[in-house]
Structure 1
């Protein structure tokens, strides 16, 4: 069976850099907020916003597996995929599966809400987002509360994401981490490589 497998490109370099940079920046944003280092918290937020804007563009013009049109599917498709989760079948996915695609959308949406509310929020003491001066103090306070609540939703989504990756490794024996690091995984011969602007990589 091993002879029938070959290295197949599944994630381009920009997508992988986005994924790991975003993970590091979200962690840094959390740590700086907890430590009260608000200036650096804002900087993390700006960097996250930049990454998200890049991902929205790359989701239209990037490689096949990074384009939204190729992995955004209906909730029905996601449920159908999860219904067969316990089956230990060979990995044949080039890119996100139906459930993973919805998770990507959810995380992107939550993070966009987070950076958006952060622009109008304040810490109740000295610091405020760059757009807070354009809204009333009361509205800024309300948005700040939404900012905190939304982070809890992000945390829940991240935990679910990590648990899903672990579940795929344990139940289905599918390694989802290595491909996001190296860009390729071994799939049945004949599977098409993900198109990339850097096809030589």
Structure 2
């Protein structure tokens, strides 16, 4: 049976994935340590904000299989997948369950970062957007960020790792390897993701703009001498 090696995950998507994973781990650690580590918690939070903005933009202009249009979920597609009747080319990128996981993770992380920007620990650290909203909103955001959001993030991360183990051990799919080198071995040919120099230059521009936005948000809470 002929096999086809296809570039599914472009380099910007792969770098985003691993950078986000590292930042989330750092956020969890710094939150648990507290104290002066909260300075790094904020910095990592701004980093995640930049990464999320980048991913939302890259989901519209990135490689073929990184675009949201490639894994828009329909009930029919989900049923085909669960019954094992989905055509191979349909799931070359994210499977329907994988698509749900991506959307869920992005949504939960956006909520966590957003509430972090509005949080105040009433000791030494407050988000840059707290001065634009009422104390009641700050209290609600802080409560969600500390009591709800962090556990949603941890829960989704746990499910993500469990799903990877299932696919690797049960379905014998090398998901981790494909997110390292970008290629998948498929039984049918399919359109690869664009991953040339021009695409990577575009990604760098998008990331720079995303980082600029995160820096601007951070500066909103700075003193006049910032």
TM-score when normalising by structure 2: 0.79
TM-aligned CA distance change 1:186 to 1:199, over 3 Å: farther
1:22 & 1:197 partners in 2: Cα distance? 22
The alignment status of 1:99 with 2:72, answered yes or no, reads no
Tell me if structure 2 keeps the 8 A contact 1:121–1:144.
Answer: yes
Tell me if structure 1 keeps the 8 A contact 2:89–2:189.
Answer: no
Choose from 124, 146, 149 the match for 2:144: 146
SS in 2 for 1:123: coil
TM-score when normalising by structure 1: 0.88
CA apart distance, 1:137? 2.9
Which structure 2 residues correspond to residues 65-80 of structure 1 after superposition, within 5 A?
Answer: 65-74=65-74, 77-80=77-80
Tell me if structure 2 keeps the 8 A contact 1:82–1:99.
Answer: no
Choose from 101, 106, 109 the match for 1:108: 106
Tell me if structure 2 keeps the 8 A contact 1:72–1:102.
Answer: no
2:177 & 2:106 partners in 1: Cα distance? 22
Question: Size of the alignment, in residue pairs?
Answer: 196
TM-aligned CA distance change 1:80 to 1:153, over 3 Å: farther
CA apart distance, 1:99? 1.1
SS in 2 for 1:166: helix
The alignment status of 1:194 with 2:188, answered yes or no, reads no
The alignment status of 1:125 with 2:90, answered yes or no, reads no
Gaps of 5+ in 1: none
Aligned to 2:158: 159
CA apart distance, 1:192? 2.9
Gaps of 5+ in 2: 201-226
| 1:144-182 deviation digits (Å, cap 9, x = unpaired) | 111121121111111111111111112211111100001
